[in-house]
Structure 1
Amino acid sequence: MRIGFNTRFRSILADLNRLSSEINLTQLKISSGKNFLRPSDDPSSVVISLNYKQGIFNIEKYQRAIEDGLSILRSQEATLGNIQDLIARAKVLAIQAANNTQNAQSRQAIANEIEGIISAILSLTNSQLGEKYIFAGKKTSGYTPGEKPFELVKETLPDGQIIEKVVYNGSIEDLEVGYDENLSINLGENGQKIFIDSGLFETLLGLKRTLQANNTVDYKKEQYNIQEFIGKLDNVYNYISAKRGEIGSKISHLETKKNLYQDFKETLQTNLGNVESADLAELATKLQSLTIAYDAALRATVMVSDLSLAKYL
């Protein structure tokens, strides 16, 4: 059975087209450095590549969450340290005020400094990181103009006496950050637990009132009251110190997690590069072979096209 001229010619042209496509694809792979340019080039490798990319995407998402969490925790830790310094100063002032050599004027001066300490601590409890309050629990924003998580208010009692107190407008739910699938960490307790439940403001305001009253009638009672406040300041200081320790542990935990994620990410990036990166030496050899085959096919085409009907018969 004879193969027709047209059939043979079409077959040679098909080989030329196929070789030309393979040469172009190989050249593109060499220039791009990629092992595949289309999903159809290597479907199994494409699936593996997509899995690696999804893993890297998830890790980067968790890394951003961890960085945000660390920023908040470090701000909280530093702020609590400043508050502890102010509490320690208040204790020194209270010890001075308990001395029986103090007169009304000196006690008022101490009371004024205590008032300044209260204002400074109140400002610190309303600290922000960007536009977010760091001691307001989950309610880090969304306050009405002029409103803050902690506010000093004055309340008039039935007898006409005016009492100052600090109110908490934040959330009683602790702020959390998700740093892994189905895992989250508590970014410090809310302001109610740290500053209100600890008795921080109640103690300082009570100390200020006692000093302003300047009880000259019963000095021993006044001295006893001041000593009580000194003991309470010690308790508050230790309470804040414990909270700082907890925050420090959380910072350490997140930093460890951050380092683990970075190592895992680098491993995935290496694996992704191995899947996607082309073997340039192998592709160069393949291109050389394809070029030789293409030249041979071209010569065959010339030979076939030069055949006359007489030669073919």
Structure 2
Amino acid sequence: MRVTQNITYNTYINDIMRRQESLYKLSKQLSTGKAVNAPSDDPVKTDKILTSKSILSGFEQYDRNMDSALDYLNTSEDAFASVKDVIMTLQELATTSATGTSDASSRANTAVTVDQLYQQLLTIANTNYDNKYAFAGYETGTEPFDQTGNYLGDTNSYQVRVNSSGYMTVGVNGGEVFKGVNGGVDIFQTVADLATALNNNDSAGIQAAGTNLESAFQQVSNAVSDIGGRITRITSAKNDLSSARLDVETMIGTLEDADIARVISELTLGQTALEAAMSSAGKVISVNIFDYL
């Protein structure tokens, strides 16, 4: 008889504890708004949620990479716009000085201005972005150009990762834009040649430098166009990433978020059922106790 009473008692107690645990989980869901608050709540969903959040973390890094790339490209674009302004000024000076009305004295005075513009170009070419030299390739800790216009950087152009399987070239190599590596115009040499021709009162040399400045202007314009294309591609990649991130966030919400209306309904029903179970258990246990008196 006592064994039967113990079994009955344990059955009631286990039932009450089970209902209390269920109510605890529902209360937790109501307070957090999450259907899954611990791995034990749903191991399969937990694994999917953790995997999706890891993907989101990667997306955030890609987004930071692209923001940094856009900042760099905008800085480069502004720098090259300034270079174009300087070159146009130099072209005007070369055109004016190449005429027969310019004498040796005026040309010498113009050479002083050209030297100043040379230094301005040098400052732009050594643009520092985020404590790194923008046009030095991978040698970002070293000024890419010395006072004589020699290029001290390398031939690399840095890249950023924009998704799980792709990189995009962002860096603009100073050797190509300013020194004409791979068949272009050496802008610094051209400006230096113009200054020399002016000081030597060399009309032919001034005209030759003016012609090279036209090529230099086009060389920088091509770099600006290339930067514009990179900005467009990165902006497009950011938009794609934003769309993908929204999809993953939606999936996480579907897996993780609780249906609050359902939780409240189940919580109400569960509380009523628990009260009924406790009342029933109380009566049975009370009767069993009196059997021993």
TM bucket, shorter chain = over 0.9
In the TM superposition, residue 189 of structure 1 has moved relative to its aligned partner by 3.4
Question: Normalising by the residue count of structure 2, what TM-score does the alignment of the two structures yield?
Answer: 0.93
What's the counterpart of residue 195 of structure 2?
A: 208
Verify the 8 A CA contact 1:172 1:192 in the aligned structure 2. yes
In the TM superposition, residue 2 of structure 1 has moved relative to its aligned partner by 9.3
- Alignment pair present for 1:149 and 2:144: yes
Verify the 8 A CA contact 2:26 2:267 in the aligned structure 1. yes
Q: Within 5 Å, which residues of 2 pair with 1:1-313?
A: 4-141=4-141, 143=142, 148-152=143-147, 165-197=148-180, 198-214=185-201, 222-308=202-288
Read off the aligned partner of 1:40 and give its amino acid letter. S
Q: Deviations over 1:17-44 (max 9, x none)?
A: 1111111111111111110111111112
Name the CA distance, whole Å, in 2 between partners of 1:138 and 1:309.
85
Question: Normalising by the residue count of structure 1, what TM-score does the alignment of the two structures yield?
Answer: 0.88
Change (3 A) 1:232 1:298: same
Equivalences, count: 288
Q: Deviations over 1:137-180 (max 9, x none)?
A: 11112x3xxxx21111xxxxxxxxxxxx3111112212222212
Read off the aligned partner of 1:201 and give its amino acid letter. F
Name the CA distance, whole Å, in 2 between partners of 1:167 and 1:50.
52
Name the CA distance, whole Å, in 1 between partners of 2:163 and 2:286.
71
In the TM superposition, residue 102 of structure 1 has moved relative to its aligned partner by 1.6
Name the CA distance, whole Å, in 2 between partners of 1:177 and 1:58.
13
Q: Deviations over 1:102-123 (max 9, x none)?
A: 2222111110111111000000
Read off the aligned partner of 2:115 and give its amino acid letter. E
Name the CA distance, whole Å, in 2 between partners of 1:308 and 1:12.
13
Determine which structure has the larger strand proportion and give its number: 1
Name the CA distance, whole Å, in 2 between partners of 1:199 and 1:88.
16
Q: Which runs of 5+ in 1 are unaligned?
A: 153-164, 215-221
Name the CA distance, whole Å, in 1 between partners of 2:289 and 2:24.
35
What's the counterpart of residue 157 of structure 1?
A: none
Name the CA distance, whole Å, in 1 between partners of 2:109 and 2:290.
125
Read off the aligned partner of 1:98 and give its amino acid letter. A
Name the CA distance, whole Å, in 2 between partners of 1:310 and 1:172.
95
Name the CA distance, whole Å, in 2 between partners of 1:308 and 1:125.
94
Verify the 8 A CA contact 1:188 1:247 in the aligned structure 2. no
Name the CA distance, whole Å, in 1 between partners of 2:281 and 2:165.
65
Name the CA distance, whole Å, in 1 between partners of 2:7 and 2:171.
80
How big is the alpha-carbon RMSD for the aligned residues of Structure 1 and Structure 2? Answer: 1.7
Q: Which runs of 5+ in 2 are unaligned?
A: none
SS at 1:177's partner residue? strand
In the TM superposition, residue 196 of structure 1 has moved relative to its aligned partner by 1.0
Name the CA distance, whole Å, in 2 between partners of 1:188 and 1:97.
37
